[in-house]
Structure formats: C-alpha cells, structure tokens
C-alpha cells in the first residue's frame, strides 16, 4: 500500500504520466485488493494524457482503513465479533437510524460510502429489512469489519465540509440577487479541440447538452481569424440564457511547458466574452455582466475531484447523476429522455469519444446552482 500511495503522490506532483508501473500492468497476488476498478487521472490542462490508477473510492477505503486503526474504538482482534459492544446504546441507535432511513444520496455523504456501497446498503435493507445490529451491516457487499468501523465513526462524527463562498468562484462579482433570479444559465467549457456547453434551468433540468469540434484550435500560429471562425460558429448556436458561465482553467503561468495551452485557453475565453456580452452604449451601471468566469478548481472541490493539486475526470460523477435521474424521485439534475439515450454509453471507462468537456460543462452548471443554494442558506 505504501507503493500505491507513493505512486499516486508522484503522479499528482507531475500532473501527467510518463510510464506505466508493472503493478498496474500485471498485478501480483496480494498486491492490490481484487475489487479495485481501473480509472484514470486526466491531465488538467491538455486532456490528452491519461494516468491509469485504481478506483479512488476503493483505494481510499483500503488506505484509510489501514492507517486509522489507532482511532477505532475496538482493537482489530476483537472487532469481528464485538461490533455492537464497541458502541453505547445511544451511538448504536444513531448509526442504525441513519443506515435504515437515509437515501443513497445521503449515504454517499458518509465517509467510505460513496458510489456502489451506498446503493448496496439501500438494496440490502430493501431485500432483508432494516438493520437490527451493527454486526449485520458487514453482510452488505463491499462492507467489511474495518471499513464498517470507519463508516460508523464517520456517522457519529461527521466531517464538516468547508463551504466555498459565492464570491470566491465567480468573476466578476455579481450581486447574488441577480444570480438567484436567473431562469437559466449556459455553462461553457473550452478544450484543446472543441467547446462544450450545458443549458440548465433554475429547476435543475438539463435543457441542452452538446459540444462542437473546433478544427482550427492549436493549429499553426494561432491565427486570430481562424480562431474567430470556430468560436463564432459555437456562439451562433448557443441557446439564450440569463448568464453564460465560462470555465476559468487553473493553469500556472510558471509552467512554461503549458504556455501554448494557456495562450489558447485565454484566446478562446476572450473571444467568448467579447461575442456573448451585449454591447450597451452608454453602459448602464445597474445591469450586471451577462458573461462570467467560474473557477475550475472550485467545481473540482465541490465534487471531490481534486487529488493533490490535480483535478481528475468527472465521468464517473456524470454517470452517477444520469443514474439518479431515472432512479430517484428528486435527483440532483433532471435529464430528458433523449439526452439520456444519446449519452448513456458516452462516458464509459476507456471510451475514446472525448467527452471530458461535456462532463465538465454539466458539472460546472450543477456546482453553480448548488453552491448558490448553499450560500443563500
């Protein structure tokens, strides 16, 4: 496990991938848990480099469980038979109350329960009835004694999520009342060869979701006329909305190797601002800007996609949102049937369809509304 941690740390520090370690190509017996799913760290700047790594949720569970034994209320040699005796009756009631009544989305907020584990808990109690003892929880697939203890402790001592203030992720600053009154927004993300957007209304319904190829991006000497043709083609088909959110990438100016990508992003961003912002002469001081920047790093933090200083792919989160749209009465975002049918197999692991910009445009829109709601409460 120390090797895995060291590998992940080195990957995060580099930001992209140079070679595949042997333990990812040919896992040896006992070197990694058998339920690790192959995933990828995606380059946060150029989107071309992918780093194959194990699934973060499962890997985090394996690493955390091995490092947190000292904080467990019971020693490992006794935990298998005495889970219920490790806690007071009040603590047991608190844990069982949440496990027996929380939705899968609410369970996903508990440490180690993100992803499949939360769904397994709901499936298990639907088939077998409510949990009567803490020991019975380990019958849920993917939940063993060590991870169950971490889950129980997290329920009793939930981690406080630091809120991201509205003023910290939107530029230029806009009075919150204008944002709250908006009937819909268009979230726009620029890539190295395409632009994607998601049109979402105030009721969290996805109205439009698509991307367009831009063949002149990063070609030749960045001819302004060629760039303008591509960006204008996109702007001409964008739907009308109260605000347009353009992703602000977090590329360090000190990284000279990424300067061509940074210049490309800034060029497209400036053209989008110029073409989308209505020209009012003379300017009216009481009218807010219609085109805004949203910080990429804030969206990554909102969905827990930050590993070290790098942001990972949001494909799994988008797949989860699509699943919730058809399985939950009140999903985080509602997908029309035609968009579900169009993109249901678009974000599978290993897909070469290039859907990262689509993922990021959707996640940016969801994060905007959710962060706006949190800052209002």
Q: How confident is the model at residue 249 (pLDDT cuts 50, 70, 90)?
A: confident
Segment 51-69 shows an average pLDDT of: 43
Q: Do β-strands 170-171 and 291-295 pair in parallel, antiparallel, or remain unpaired?
A: antiparallel
Under DSSP, is residue 293 helix (H, G, I), strand (E, B) or coil?
strand
Name which residue leads in pLDDT, 175 or 44: 175
Yes or no: say if 38 and 16 are a contact pair by the CB < 8 Å rule: no
The tens digit of pLDDT for each residue in 280-290 reads 555 566 678 89
pLDDT digits (tens, 9 = 90+) for 107-152: 887 877 866 788 889 989 999 999 999 999 999 988 888 888 888 9
Q: What angle do the packed helices 116-128 and 89-101 form, to 10 degrees? A: 100
Q: Note the pLDDT of residue 280.
A: 58
pLDDT, residue 84, reads 87
User: What would you report as the CA-atom Rg of the chain, rounded to the nearest whole angstrom?
Assistant: 23
Q: Is 103 helix (H, G, I), strand (E, B) or coil?
A: coil
Q: How far is CA 333 from CA 122, 207, 323, in A?
A: 21, 11, 10
Measured distance CA(351)–CA(354) in Å, rounded: 7
**Are 309 and 12 within 8 A, CB to CB?**
yes
Average pLDDT over residues 208-226: 88
List Cα–Cα distances, 314 to 24, 124, 281, 300, 318, in angstroms: 22, 28, 41, 8, 6
């Amino acid at each position: 496990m120390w090797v895995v941690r060291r590998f992940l740390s080195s990957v995060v520090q580099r930001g992209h991938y140079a070679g595949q370690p042997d333990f990812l190509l040919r896992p040896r017996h006992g070197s990694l848990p058998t339920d690790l799913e192959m995933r990828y760290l995606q380059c946060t700047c150029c989107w071309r480099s992918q780093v194959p790594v194990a699934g973060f949720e499962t890997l985090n569970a394996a690493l955390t469980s091995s490092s947190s034994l000292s904080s467990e209320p019971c020693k490992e040699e006794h935990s298998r038979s005495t889970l219920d005796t490790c806690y007071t009756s009040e603590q047991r009631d608190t844990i069982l109350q949440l496990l027996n009544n929380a939705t899968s989305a609410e369970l996903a907020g508990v440490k180690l329960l993100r992803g499949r584990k939360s769904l397994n808990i709901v499936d298990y109690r639907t088939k077998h009835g409510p949990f009567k003892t803490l020991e019975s929880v380990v019958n849920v697939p993917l939940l063993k004694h060590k991870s169950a203890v971490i889950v129980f402790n997290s329920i009793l001592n939930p981690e406080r999520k630091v809120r991201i203030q509205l003023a910290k992720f939107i530029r230029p600053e806009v009075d919150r009342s204008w944002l709250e009154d908006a009937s819909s927004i268009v979230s726009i993300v620029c890539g190295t060869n395409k632009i994607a957007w998601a049109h979402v209304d105030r009721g969290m319904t996805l109205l439009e979701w698509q991307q367009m190829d831009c063949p002149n991006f990063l070609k030749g000497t960045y001819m302004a006329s060629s760039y303008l043709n591509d960006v204008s083609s996109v702007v001409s088909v964008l739907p009308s909305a109260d605000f347009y959110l353009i992703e602000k990438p977090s590329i360090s100016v000190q990284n000279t190797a990424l300067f061509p990508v940074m210049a490309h992003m800034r060029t497209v961003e400036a053209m989008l601002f110029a073409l989308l912002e209505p020209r009012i002469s003379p300017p009216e001081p009481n009218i807010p800007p219609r085109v805004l920047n949203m910080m990429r790093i804030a969206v990554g933090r909102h969905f827990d996609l930050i590993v070290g200083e790098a942001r990972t792919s949001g494909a799994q989160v988008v797949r989860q949102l699509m699943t919730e749209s058809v399985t939950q009465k009140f999903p985080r975002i509602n997908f029309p049937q035609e968009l579900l049918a169009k993109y249901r197999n678009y974000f599978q692991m290993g897909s070469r369809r290039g859907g990262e910009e689509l993922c990021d445009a959707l996640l940016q829109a969801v994060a905007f509304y959710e962060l706006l709601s949190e800052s209002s409460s």
